Structure 1
Amino acid sequence: MKKYFLDTSFIMALILDSDSNYKKAIKLEYILNEECYINNNVLNEVLTLTGRKLNIDSAREVYYSLIDTFNVLNEYEIVNYTSETFKIFETYIGVNSNKTKLSFTDSSIILTMKAFNIDTLVSFDEEFKRIKEINLIQE
């Protein structure tokens, strides 16, 4: 089985039929039959957004669905996790901090993928196109 890391943007597009990427996400739904991974930061973002955009009951339902369906990687087990994530963040932000939308959580995804040997990311976040080490699936 191929390994896929799922970003918040993809998961939220599956959850919210009002999301601008909903149709694209549905076309990629076949990926969910493969070996799919998220980390705690993605889990955190998805639950926060679901709670805000829908309600706490929906967030609870999504929580149980995510932990039952996907492999949740504990990025905090990575040696020097925060400093290594910051190095990635710093590399891609550089002096153009106002010209990129790469977040610290996005940087943690890159580190987690490297640490757990996952090379394919499913995301609608355009910033990931800049990361050469990642095979990005958007359509």
Structure 2
Amino acid sequence: MTSPTPETLDWLARLIAFDTTSRDTNLPLIDAVARHLRDLGLEPHLFPTPDGRKANLVVTIPDAAGGTTGGVMLSGHTDVVPTDGQRWTSDPYTLVERDGLLYGRGTSDMKGFNACVLAALPAMLAEPLREPIHVALSYD
């Protein structure tokens, strides 16, 4: 298996540090990702819940001709299940490497995937894409 890139590990640590327990807000994580996307020259679209406590985020990387329809959607959720009653040997909201494995709330479902996608965005932007790529981060 290939080791994660430093960029992926950085994103994973950042995403895990946000306590996005499903009963709570995901807005700090969504806001951080939206700022990063804007820094890359992309325009994220946010879809808040009626009460404004959570939001989905969608962003599109256009194809080489500027097209935004069709293509591929990379989608992951931002929420994690509660840690109540679970016995963690480390802080669940701090990425820890132990014996070659990474531990932290959401590492495998789905913050790990989200970190891979976010780390790959600069490479996606650098390529003349045949089809657009859409990224969606959701709640619940």
Return the structure number with greater relative CO, CA threshold 8 A, min gap 6: 2
Q: Over alpha carbons, which structure has the higher Rg? A: 2
Which TM-score bucket, shorter chain as reference? under 0.3
When normalised by structure 2's length, the TM-score is 0.25
Q: Tell me which protein shows more helix as a share of its residues.
A: 1
When normalised by structure 1's length, the TM-score is 0.25
Q: Tell me which protein shows more strand as a share of its residues.
A: 2
